[in-house]
A and B are shown apart, each in its own frame.
Chain A
Amino acid sequence: MRISFKLNGTDTNIDVRPDRRVVDLLREDMGLTGTKESCGAGDCGACTILVNGESRLSCLMLAVQLDGCEITTVEGLDGGRSLHAVQESFIEHGAVQCGFCIPGMVMASVDLLNRNPEPTREEIRQGLAGNLCRCTGYQKIVDAVEKAIPYCKAGEES
């Protein structure tokens, strides 16, 4: 069936099996391999994308559910210009090790800061509770989100 949605700012109109998982559609059909899959069952958050600005698990969404939505994947986070403040902060503060959880972690962080622009460290941990990381012990990820707070707020105000 044909579905229309906005993908990383671009109007997209494709023919797809309605029950194709969104994670497969993105990775295999559209070549957007920044979105990862690690459990396929909603337990790990590696496949997190933004749907209408809200974090969703692309392994638990079927293609038809994209119809009419605005989708952002990690590839589209920067609007094609510069890095998002969260991405910059992840690099600078050592949040990245093996990196396989990182695209999902970045998307979850953006969602968190959109909802709660000034989270405490505990709120950051709760906000990232759906995203498993096996390398970092989360501390530097929490550091990175915390350090990105002023830059995200600055971005919103302007």
Chain B
Amino acid sequence: MSKVTSNVLPRSSGISRAGERHGTPQIGVTLPRADALDKVTGRELYAADFYSSDMVWAGVKRAGLPHGRLVGIDAARAAEMPGVLRVLTHKDVLGTNRQGVVRKDQPVLVDDKVRHCGDPVALVLAESREVLRRAIRLIRVNCEPLPGVFDPQAALAEGAPLVHEDSPEGNILLKGDLSIGSPSDAELECDLIVEGCFETPRQEHAYLETESGWACTEADGKIVITCSTQTPFRDRAEVCEALGLDSSRVRVVAPYVGGAFGGKDGVTVQSLLALAALNSGGRPVKMWWDREESFLAGTKRHAAKMRYRLGAKNDGTLHFLDVEFYLDTGPYDHLGGVVLALALEHAGGPYRIPHAALRGWCVYTNNPIGGAFRGFGVTQVTAAVEQMMDILAARLGMDPVELRLKNALKIGDRNCVGKTLVSSTGLTDCLETLSKHKLWKDREAWKAGAGSSKRRGVGIAALMHASGYGPVVPDYANAKLELTREGRIVVYCGVVDMGQGNASTNLQIVGALLNQNADAIDLIQPDTDRTLPSGSASASRCTYTFGNALIGAAEILKDRILQRAADLLMIRDTNDMVLVPGAVKHLPSGREVPLSRLAAFLNDDERVAVHHFRAPVARDGLGVEENLSLHGLPHTLFSYGAHAAALEVDEITGIVDVKRYVAISDCGKVINPQVYEQQIQGGIAQGLGFALSESFDVLNGQVLTPDFTTYLVPTAPDVPEMETLAVEIHEPTGPFGLKGVGEIATNGPLPAVANAVRDACGIRCSEFPLTPERVKAALESKERDGGRE
């Protein structure tokens, strides 16, 4: 064999650089991601990777108490420390000093009250990270402590301390009260009503790249913020308003993000960085939260308390649902109201339930901030409703798949908020595929093989997840493509790639439509000066909305290129002209015009194509109050799924060991099977963490799990082998028939695991995650009660 030095591949190895041997990209075929090469070599520059010799470190003193009136800030000792440039407070903030996606209730730097332990009080600029750390420790925050509220239901009680004195409804951020059909009559018509209470914990995003950014001031005074964000355009608006800057003064650039999952949907470091840059004497500023700060100050999945009553006829037909739930949104809106609305919309799961009473409260407390997290309220209610379905199936003596199939939503049905489904609805296909899968079919044989002290069980969950922003907030994207003078194609990505791979998918779409090799296409990452506003990287919308815009732009550019080539070759029309890699070819004559030559015959504007796409919205008049519509209720496009978990419970310790996992999803047509699998697998792993080990614990507003030692995300041995199947039902409105895939998988594991634990050993816990301690306690209590549930 050829001489090779340690582990460096001969070129004949069959593995090659991404894109090299793959030809022009095709839709529906795996194409290794465009970002992978620079990420595996360490060359990719994340927002956290910027340094310069003249830079300044910026960092924040955080309050450390959950609720108190700010009396003063003693920063004299810090300010005098050698190496400290400035200590800034709210007095240095010249704008509104308020941020927020919906309600602007979060200060850049605290000016009146501290509302949770992670509130920022003072901003320090220092020569080094070490000096910064020591200076921050020297600052004293003088507060008059106020009684706090730490439980959503307690916060609703008469006389409870108010988190925001000026809030129109006290501690209620948003309330939803929906009545669909005739729930009170329907309740009496049921043959059977089952009840259940469930509590799910706060979940931390735990992205590997903590919040970070880099701000430079250009000669004309413009501040350029390069940061880890899902929302560069909205960030710019928030920063400018909070700091009193004209929007022309701020540019936000979003490189590849080191994980986000909703936690970077909204401002983290941005305003602080801009404020620091305004006071750094023109020097570049770096801010990079450490893990503990990220955990303390970052948003969390809302902790939820849910009470369910589900009624059915004897034949298993669902008839009635009554739901009451409370979400702990911490002290700031962030996106809490929108989370509430999405939870309401999915409270009944993917089923026909003609009569429903749904009541939800999103409540201010002095706990850490509740916000966007992959799954966005649906994760919590799915945990409840999918356990209710198993409870009902057990009472009816029905097979859990059969009960779900019987009630599964089909196109034309109304969901639990009365919205008529008009887009592709593949739940039945998912459930039927699952029912034939060997993990489900052969489960009794597998369960019988459990070893000593072990019990095995298999559980399922059916899923539904909306995508997009809902009926009012416009869900649009503006795609821009350029044919460069060199004959290359540039994609101006308007939506951030936080790891989900949409940048690569954009490249694949353009490559396929223009028949160009992946390595002839360049990506420009979101940048408020260079790319066009296209909304947030969130809501399972990225490729649906931006992809549709991109297809439009590619078609415009293609038509223009072909037409100009035809003109050049003096051919009457473009019917026989095709794009080939690097050129346009006239098929009958075989003549080719290189793209570089064509580009020279187009003026600068002609080389650019832009297309605007606006996602369809629900037209149903549901009689929902306007505020809920504004917060996104209802949606019109949904993805579906059916999950199954096979697990073993150790009776000695209570440890739950998930052995196999199957996820079948209807996310429309798959553009890149590898990226599709990545999304589903990653969602499952986060969901398994939520089911088994992750709980961001807080006592009286103080964080009990401040780091990765105490907050336990799954490690490689914790995640089982997963099978991810796609039911590829074409969605007519989606790009190539695609629907959103980003969030749905996160919602399955908790209920599937809980149902499997019940199947294994007859126990059902009401509090999550299912720690060994909870499971052991339930096993013991079952034993004491002689096996009764």
User: Quick check: do A and B touch in the complex, using CB within 8 A?
Assistant: yes
Q: Which A residues are within 8 Å of any B CB, using their own CB?
A: 24, 27-28, 31-41, 43-44, 46, 73-75, 77-79, 81-92, 94-103, 106, 110, 121-122, 124-126, 128-142, 151-152, 154-156, 158
Which chain B residues border A100 with CB–CB below 8 Å?
46, 207-209, 258-259, 499
Residues of B contacting A: mostly: loop
Whether the Cβ atoms of A155 and B7 lie closer than 8 Å is yes
Count A/B pairs, Cβ under 8 Å. Answer: 227
B675 proximal to A (CB < 8 A): yes
The answer to whether B7 touches A41, judged by C-beta atoms less than 8 angstroms apart, is no
List which B648-689 residues lie within 8 A (CB) of chain A.
Answer: 674-675, 677-678, 681-686
B37 at the A/B interface (Cβ < 8 Å)? yes
Question: B4 on the interface (CB 8 Å rule)?
Answer: yes
Q: Provided the pairs A39-B708, A139-B681 are in contact, do residues A98 and B5 lie with their beta carbons within 8 angstroms?
A: no
B45 lies within 8 A of chain A by Cβ: yes
- Cβ-defined contact, A85 with B13, below 8 A: yes
Leading 9 A-B pairs by shortest Cβ distance: A34-B42, A98-B499, A100-B258, A99-B39, A137-B685, A43-B708, A155-B7, A74-B42, A137-B681
* A99 CB contacts on chain B under 8 angstroms: 35-36, 39-40, 44, 256, 258, 499
Tell me whether B291 is interfacial, beta carbon within 8 Å.
yes
Per the bound structure, the CA–CA distance linking A79 and B45 in Å amounts to 21
The residue on B at minimum CB distance from A32 is B42
Is B681 within 8 A of A134, CB to CB?
A: no
Contact yes or no, A44 B1, CB < 8 A:
no
Mask of B16-60 contacts with A, CB within 8 angstroms, 1/0: 111000000000001011011101111111101101000000000
Among the 9-residue stretches B478-486, B710-718, B767-775, the one with 4 or more Cβ atoms under 8 Å from chain A is B710-718
Contact of B716 among A33, A110, A131, A151 (CB under 8 A): A131
Bound Cα distance from A92 to B17, whole angstroms: 8
Q: Is B6 an interface residue (CB 8 A)?
A: yes
A96 near B677 with CB under 8 A, answer no
Q: Is the CB–CB distance between A94 and B678 below 8 Å?
A: yes
A87 contacts B716, C-beta separation under 8 Å:
no
A40–B291 CB distance below 8 A: yes
Are A39 and B7 within 8 A (Cβ)? Answer: no
* B8 interface residue (CB < 8 Å to A): yes
CA distance A95 to B498 in the complex (A): 15
Our pick among A81, A89, A101, A130 for the contact of B15 (Cβ within 8 Å) is A89
A-B contact pairs, 11 of them (CB 8 A): A38-B210, A39-B707, A41-B709, A43-B708, A96-B33, A110-B7, A134-B713, A136-B682, A151-B7, A155-B4, A155-B8
A139 — nearest CB in chain B belongs to which residue?
B681
Interchain CA distance A95-B674 in the complex, whole Å? 10
Which of A31, A83, A85, A100 has most chain B Cβ within 10 Å? A100
Docked-complex contact A97 and B209, CB < 8 angstroms: no
Q: With A and B bound together, what is the CA distance between A124 and B94 in angstroms? A: 54
Which of these, B13, B205, B677, B714, contacts A88 with CB under 8 Å? B13
Specify the chain A residue showing the minimal Cβ separation from B128. Answer: A28
Expressed in whole angstroms, the minimum distance between the Cβ of A77 and any Cβ of chain B is 8
> Which of A35, A122, A133, A135 sits near B42, CB closer than 8 Å?
A35
| Closest residue on chain B to residue A129 by CB atoms | B715
* A104 to B775 CA separation, bound complex (whole angstroms): 34
Shortest Cβ gap from B575 to chain A (Å)? 39
Q: Contact: A155 with B6, CB < 8 Å?
A: yes
Complexed CA–CA distance, A28 and B286 (Å): 12
Asked if B254 is an interface residue, CB under 8 A from chain A, the answer is no
Q: Which residues on B are within 8 Å of A, measured CB to CB?
A: 1-9, 11, 13, 15-18, 30, 32-33, 35-37, 39-46, 48-49, 51, 129, 205-210, 256-261, 290-291, 498-501, 674-675, 677-678, 681-686, 707-709, 713-717, 719, 721-722
Determine the chain A residues whose CB is within 8 A of the CB of B257 once the complex forms.
98
A136–chain B nearest beta-carbon distance, Å: 5
On whether the beta carbons of A141 and B716 are closer than 8 Å, the reply is yes
Q: In the bound complex, do residue B36 and residue A158 qualify as a contact, i.e. CB atoms below 8 Å apart?
A: no
Q: Which residues of A contact B33 (CB under 8 A)?
A: 91, 94, 96
Provide the residues of chain A in CB contact with B677, threshold 8 Å.
94, 140
| C-alpha gap A32/B43 in the complex (Å) | 9
Question: Assuming A135-B678, A137-B684, A137-B722, is B15 touching A92 (CB within 8 A)?
Answer: yes
A98-B207 contact given A28-B51, A126-B717, A132-B715, CB 8 Å threshold? yes
Pairwise interchain contact B42-A91, C-beta atoms closer than 8 A: no
CB contacts (< 8 Å) of B37 on chain A: these are 91
Supposing A33-B45, A134-B259 touch, asked if A97 and B9 sit within 8 A by C-beta, the answer is: no
Q: Could you tell me the distance in whole angstroms from the C-beta of B596 to the nearest C-beta in chain A? A: 29
The answer to whether B1 and A83 have CB atoms under 8 Å apart is no
In the complex, are the beta carbons of A154 and B206 less than 8 A apart? Answer: no
* Also in contact, A44 and B708, with CB within 8 A (given A38-B291, A87-B40, A102-B40): yes
Q: Could you say which of A41, A75, A110, A136 contacts B707, with CB atoms under 8 Å apart?
A: A41
A82 touches B8 (CB 8 A): yes
Nearest chain-A residue to B5 (Cβ)? A79
User: Is the Cβ of A138 less than 8 Å from the Cβ of B685?
Assistant: yes
Please name all residues of chain B whose beta carbon is closer than 8 Å to the beta carbon of A73 when the two chains form the complex.
42
A84 to B17: give the CA distance in the assembly, Å: 11
